[in-house]
Amino acid sequence: MHAFSCVEDYRLAARRRLTKLAFDYLEGGAEDGDALRRNRDAFGQWGFSPRVMTDTSQTSSKTTFWGRDAAAPMAVGPTGLNGLFWPRADELLARAAADAGLPFVLSTASTSLLEDVRAAVPHGELWLQLYVQQDRRIAESMMRRARKAGFRTLMLTVDTPVHGKRDHDTRNGFRLPLRFTPRLVADCMRHPHWSWQMLMGGAPQLRNIARSVGERADLARHAAMLSRQMDLSLSWDDLAWVRRHWPGEVLVKGILSVDDARQAQAHGADGIVVSNHGGRQLGSTLAPVEALPMIVEALSAGGRGGPAMSVFVDGGVRRGADVAKAVALGAKGVLLGRAPLYGVAARGARGVAGVLELMLGELRTTMQLLGCASVDDLTPQRLARLPALRS
């Protein structure tokens, strides 16, 4: 039995259990992985500047997103193809998020139907991530279904007009629908638990897209094909189209520049996610957490207090301390991408619950050590930019 004392422990366990094909898909970045590495390293540019003797006996990490309570400034972010890591992983992730008091964002490319995810968490806070394919009727159908199922917030992902170049996936022969090449069969034999689960449950499929395409023959193949046919003509004016189909909040995910943040605001978005898609799209970018302060500052200019829109950030969040830093830099909240996936891939439901519990516990400890009794106390004054040490 392994002890899981931090997210890294779950990552190592996930690497042991998953086939190379599945782990590389989970873990990898685009091209040489520069953006991926920078996402993580960027957090190290800031250190904490704690205050002491501040009475942290009643410390709480609670916050609200548009008036709705969350246990912490965190949400489980959208990730596609989760069924590759554990059967019905979307439901497991949603349930663990709801139990922890956090929102769960379901990907367009989910392997569970959004209706099944809702049934798994009748009272959970669910958000839908939207990809827009060339056939707009697919997105419209998905929004209609999600509205009906009581999803509250829409997250329009805009940094994926085409797939990033992921060399490891090419090398592993990763494609949808999965094809059992001799290489994958050999990989499966080295990872019997994963293979047994896939054998029993069937290879994961893009069931959500398939449902919105309509019941047609060879749906899986069709859905896989459509998932690659993004609408490259998508532009800022299309936010009005999204608004017509979505009465709740609309967030734009995948912003890295001040100009685009301003565009989102000008076009009436309720929020943005500063993100480089976990380093999976462009091979080399500024880390989102580096872009965050200038975006927050630009959006706040002229107004009093913080920006009018909610600014979320993701990329490289692996510790509660990272969440504290992001909030201190002006984020309303962070999305967790790979961290909960390590949990579900390592141990299913217990794993995700374990990861979220660890992150919440670390955030609380960090806040207490910083002298912050509430998330409002997490201000830029609690951070110091660290000068490089001479080696």
Residue ranges binding ligand FMN (CB under 6 A): 26, 39, 77-80, 107, 109, 129, 157, 253, 275, 277-278, 280, 314-317, 335-338
Tell me whether residue 179 is annotated as binding.
no
User: Rounded to the nearest whole angstrom, what is the least distance from the CB of residue 375 to ligand FMN in the complex?
Assistant: 20
User: Rounded to the nearest whole angstrom, what is the least distance from the CB of residue 157 to ligand FMN in the complex?
Assistant: 4
Q: How many Cβ atoms sit within 10 Å of the Cβ of residue 76?
A: 27
| Nearest residue (CB) to ligand FMN, 211 versus 277 | 277
Tell me whether residue 213 is annotated as binding.
no
Tell me whether residue 280 is annotated as binding.
yes
Bond preceding residue 380 cis, omega within 30 of 0 = no
Is residue 277 among the annotated active site residues?
yes
| Nearest residue (CB) to ligand FMN, 124 versus 254 | 254
Tell me whether residue 166 is annotated as binding.
yes
Q: Three-state DSSP class for 265? A: helix
Q: Three-state DSSP class for 255? A: strand
The CA distance from 292 to 252, in Å, is 14
Give the contacts of 134 (CB within 8 A, at least 6 positions apart): 229, 230, 231
| Nearest residue (CB) to ligand FMN, 80 versus 351 | 80
User: Which tokens go with 118?
Assistant: 């809702």
Give the closest residue to 268 by CA, choosing from 291, 293, 246: 246
Q: How many Cβ atoms sit within 10 Å of the Cβ of residue 302?
A: 7
Q: Three-state DSSP class for 153? A: strand
Tell me whether residue 318 is annotated as binding.
yes
Q: Facing residues of 127 across strands?
A: 105, 153
| Nearest residue (CB) to ligand FMN, 206 versus 367 | 206
Closest residue to bound ligand FMN by CB? 337
Could you give the residue numbers annotated as active site? 277
In the annotated binding site for FMN, the residues are: 78-80, 107, 129, 157, 253, 275, 314-318, 337-338
In the annotated binding site for glyoxylate, the residues are: 25, 131, 166, 277, 280
In the annotated binding site, the residues are: 25, 78-80, 107, 129, 131, 157, 166, 253, 275, 277, 280, 314-318, 337-338
